[in-house]
Amino acid sequence: MTLYGLKTCDTCRKALKALEAGAPGPVTFRDIRAERLTAAERARFLGAFGEKLVNTRSTTWRGLDEAERAGDPDALLEAHPALMKRPVIDGPGGLTLGWDKAAQAAHLST
């Protein structure tokens, strides 16, 4: 199982802690700022989540001008990795976005 996020993100830290304690297998954390997503990973995530993958409530988003905001989501995520809504979790429970009850149910063993 791989958790994609930022090491400074509180939600990512909560998710990682819960997954390490209750996931059925090993958990790998990937800091997308230190090790950026590949084009194939961005395409896969955008295919699964569409524009919901771009966090329009982030500080990074608020710092963009209107022309940048109107740009292609793939190009935005390539240029600004912190714009990705997080965490994205890839595991036996499938690909999930965020750390809500559905993501927890999909990835934590009961």
Q: Which residues are catalytic?
A: 9
**How far is CA 43 from each of CA 75, 82, 93, 100, rounded to the nearest angstrom?**
11, 16, 20, 23
- Sheet of 94-97, strands arranged across: 28-31, 2-5, 88-91, 94-97
